[in-house]
Amino acid sequence: MKLTLFFFALIYSAIGWANTSNIAVTKLSEDAFILNAIGYGTNIGLFKTTDGIVLVDPMPGEKNLDTLHALIDSLAGGSARFVLNTHAHSDHSGGNSYFIGQGGLLMNDAVHLTEIEDFAAISHSGVDKVYFHAKSNSIFVGDIYDTSWHPTFYAGGVSGFSKAIEGILKLGNDESIIVPGHGKPTGKTELQLFKNNTLAWVARVKKLKGDGKSAIEIKNDAQIKIILGKFNVENKADFVPEEAFVRFIERTLAVIEKGE
Ligand SMILES: [Zn+2]
């Protein structure tokens, strides 16, 4: 995996004070980039295609939209022609209207785009979209996959999640770069591991529920703690605070109850 990471710092001044904003740029190929606003964290895709400039999930936080726009211009030599989203949540779609205002066209899918392939899934949200850019061999998968947080398969349950991951693994080849909605990009091996860990998590929660344990009791289970730790691939010190840990268990229990 050849990823060159450099930081593109733009300093601009607003009325009366100076503000600094940093958007990290990962170059995937001559035509493809991941942009990520430090402190916001959504992975934004930028593709220079024969159809024009295509953006995936262009949301760097409200205050960084102008900076992102300027950065896109400097990297791709123009404004976005097409805007795609991996799903509708605002941390991915919140920049849509800004880029529509700059002349971009919001697309429901990539059917009319020559260089991008897509498929729909139900896992993190009711409508998840995965985008494959063959020229850079990169796959933007949104929040079906997250390398900075625990999995969130609440819309599709285990079956929707498994189907989504299997679909992603079928795209590209062994060298494909998998770009999660948040966190560092990985290869397919790590994605497969994420799937295995997620299934192990659900199986363990199910077992403990069967033993009559409450969410709080499940939280204190040694194996559950180990499995949660496996999602902390970036070795964050404060990975999933206690409250979020309990919520993850409760939401997993809800998925299990729905029989998905
Ligand atoms: Zn997200």
**Does 187 reside within a domain?**
yes
Whole-number Å distance, alpha carbon 234 to ligand 1 midpoint, is 17
Beta bridge partners of 125: none
Whole-number Å distance, alpha carbon 179 to ligand 1 midpoint, is 12
Alpha-carbon distance of 191 to 214, in angstroms, equals 30
Our count of domains for the chain comes to 1
Sheet (strand 138-146) strand order: 116-121, 128-133, 138-146, 177-182
Whole-number Å distance, alpha carbon 212 to ligand 1 midpoint, is 33
**Does 47 reside within a domain?**
yes
pLDDT at residue 5, rounded to an integer:
47
HSE of 153 in the Cβ direction (CA atoms, 13 Å)? 27
Whole-number Å distance, alpha carbon 182 to ligand 1 midpoint, is 6
**Does 206 reside within a domain?**
no
Around Cβ 50, how many Cβ atoms within 10 Å?
A: 8
pLDDT at residue 259, rounded to an integer:
82
Greatest distance between any 2 Cα atoms in the chain: 62
| Identity of the residue numbered 190 | E
pLDDT at residue 4, rounded to an integer:
45
| Consecutive 10-residue averages of pLDDT for the chain (260 residues) | 43 34 91 96 98 98 96 96 98 98 97 96 98 98 97 97 98 98 97 98 98 97 97 92 96 91
**Does 54 reside within a domain?**
yes
**Does 81 reside within a domain?**
yes
**Does 154 reside within a domain?**
yes
For 42-79, write each residue's pLDDT tens digit: 999 999 999 999 999 999 999 999 999 999 999 999 99
pLDDT at residue 112, rounded to an integer:
94
pLDDT at residue 10, rounded to an integer:
38
Closest CA to 58 of 50, 49, 67: 67
Q: What is the CATH number of the domain that holds 11?
A: 3.60.15.10
Whole-number Å distance, alpha carbon 85 to ligand 1 midpoint, is 11
Strand (E) positions, the chain? 4-14, 17-29, 32-37, 44-49, 52-56, 82-84, 105-106, 116-121, 128-133, 138-146, 177-182
Whole-number Å distance, alpha carbon 167 to ligand 1 midpoint, is 20
Query: What angle in degrees, to the nearest 10, is found between the helix axes of 188-210 and 157-170?
Result: 170
pLDDT at residue 12, rounded to an integer:
35
**Does 50 reside within a domain?**
yes
Alpha-carbon distance of 138 to 133, in angstroms, equals 5
Whole-number Å distance, alpha carbon 211 to ligand 1 midpoint, is 33
Whole-number Å distance, alpha carbon 215 to ligand 1 midpoint, is 25
Enclosing domain of residue 116: 4-196
**Does 208 reside within a domain?**
no
Alpha-carbon distance of 48 to 54, in angstroms, equals 7
Whole-number Å distance, alpha carbon 20 to ligand 1 midpoint, is 24
Whole-number Å distance, alpha carbon 257 to ligand 1 midpoint, is 25
Whole-number Å distance, alpha carbon 143 to ligand 1 midpoint, is 5
Whole-number Å distance, alpha carbon 89 to ligand 1 midpoint, is 7
pLDDT at residue 238, rounded to an integer:
87
